[in-house]
Amino acid sequence: MRTLVTFKSAAFNTSEARDYFINPGCFGDDVAKWIMQELQKRGFQAMGEPGQEDFGWYFTFRAGGREHDFVIGFRPGDGSAEGDWIGWLERRRGFVGSLLGGRKRGIEPAAVRAIHAVLSSSPQIREVRWHVQSHFDSGREELGSTEP
């Protein structure tokens, strides 16, 4: 299943580091909040506020009867190319489950479809591409698809 998505958008902050960022390029708080709001409009339960990682943000939402995390961060372009957003789904797991790789297993298709519906229906978002994690990690982004 494709659980990693890339997309482009000029609607979110990618240049102004905030004083609460862990690292200067830790963009994504505004896009995470926006996706959470859009999920809630579609009847999904999004919990709390986005949390921060070293490279971006994450939030928890419920789909298919299970809790999932959506992790999002910005990948700047190299000067000749525009940057893009990278997001991926994980199952919400406890400490032991996370250590045993449980975050990558049991992702509900409903969670993937929910994120896809938000991204693909917005005029602010373009070039949505879904990837198999192993393909993306090995640099084979050309194997991405417009559908999950």
What pLDDT is attached to residue 104?
73
Answer whether residue 102 shows pLDDT above 80: no
Window from 39-43, 93-97, 100-104, 106-110 with minimum mean pLDDT: 93-97
Are 9 and 124 a contacting pair, CB within 8 Å?
Answer: yes
Residue given tokens 């409009």 in the structure block: 41
CA dist., res. 73 & res. 120, Å (int): 18
Could you give the 3-state DSSP secondary structure of residue 87?
strand
Query: pLDDT grade, residue 94 (50/70/90)?
Result: low
Answer whether residue 101 shows pLDDT above 60: no
Ranges of each domain in the chain:
1-14+21-75+107-136
Answer whether residue 97 shows pLDDT above 50: no
- Residue 42: closest CA among 58, 61, 60: 61
